[in-house]
Amino acid sequence: MSRAATRPVIRLLQASLVLVVAGLYAGTALAQGTLERIKETDRIGVAVANERPYGYITEAGELSGESPTIAREILRRIDPGIEMQGISMDWGNLIPRLNDGDVDVVAAGMFITPARCEQVAFSNPTYVVGESFLVRAGNPLDLESYEDISRNPEARVGLVAGTVEYNYATNSGIRASQAPLYRDFRRAVDALVEGEVDAVGLTSLTARSLARSTEAADLEATPQFYPVIDGEEIKGYGAFAFRKEDEALVAAFNRHLDDFIGSEAHWDAVEEFGFAPDMMPDKTAAELCAG
């Protein structure tokens, strides 16, 4: 082949190489886009569900709870200038609005489940916890497990739409008529106070927190228990949720979480919210997503 004949081939190869390199850079930019934007703007959108003690906005408008407290420390390690902008929303909207780009991370103590792993990417967990019911003082129907409710056709348990408690109830054989759904935790508690339900299914920390509040002085939390599904005890592992394409942000979070979770500084930071060393997680997000 003559030199003149080879020039078009060389130019074609060069053009192809440029396209390949450009594609690689574009893919990298896409994967790291959110992290880089957060660093450049010093702003990150953080979603909570106003569930104490996991993630909520105080009357002063400040983000508080276990998840925002840990996120604040992790973000400081990523870039000291990053500030969190908190948005409160109904639990059922957390994942949809995250994936729509309204926020960059869910800091609501969300449990890692295989079903949720299909929709979002999780950090490694920051705690493990069991379940409890919030009931009226004295626990009139003696409800201490979902099986207790399924065995009592008169018992009704209030559930918050989108939470794992709905799965626990249905897997325990509780009929839909016994398990009304509510948009948020406040509505579910109001239903209990007004006698619409006999219990509200919650994590043990949420139930204890609500029972201690002055607004719920006539309510109490039942002892912690672990729901049993298909003969296996189910424990709740809470973590941060991200969009699946934000691999760089998830990696940065996990890198610093690995150094922080379980340290003395970690437990000191979340002690006020009821978290303690006996809640140290023993599984990774990958293990939990695999079921």
Q: What three-state secondary structure class fits 89?
A: coil
Query: Which tens digits make up the pLDDT trace of 43-91?
Result: 999 999 999 999 999 999 999 999 999 999 999 999 999 999 999 999 9
User: How high does pLDDT run on average in the chain?
Assistant: 89
pLDDT tens digits, the chain, 291 residues: what are they?
A: 444 444 444 444 344 433 333 343 334 434 449 999 999 999 999 999 999 999 999 999 999 999 999 999 999 999 999 999 999 999 999 999 999 999 999 999 999 999 999 999 999 999 999 999 999 999 999 999 999 999 999 999 999 998 999 999 999 999 999 999 999 999 999 999 999 999 999 999 999 888 887 565 699 999 999 998 888 888 999 999 999 999 999 999 999 999 999 999 999 999 999 898 989 999 999 999 998
Q: Residue 44: what are its φ and ψ, rounded to 5°?
A: -140, 130
Q: Is 286 left (phi over 0), alpha (psi -120 to 50) or beta?
A: alpha
Helix 66-78 and helix 3-41: axis angle, to 10°? 130
Please state, in angstroms and rounded to a whole number, the distance separating the CA atoms of residues 103 and 3: 57
pTM for this structure?
Answer: 0.75
Predicted local confidence at residue 229, as pLDDT: 86
Q: Which amino acid is at 39?
A: K
Please state, in angstroms and rounded to a whole number, the distance separating the CA atoms of residues 33 and 36: 5
Kindly give, in sequence order, each residue whose CB lies less than 8 Å from that of residue 179, ignoring residues fewer than 6 positions away: 156, 157, 158, 159, 166, 169, 170
Helical segments of the chain, H only? 3-41, 66-78, 94-99, 114-117, 146-150, 164-171, 185-193, 204-212, 247-260, 264-270, 285-289
- Token pair recorded at residue 249: 């942000």
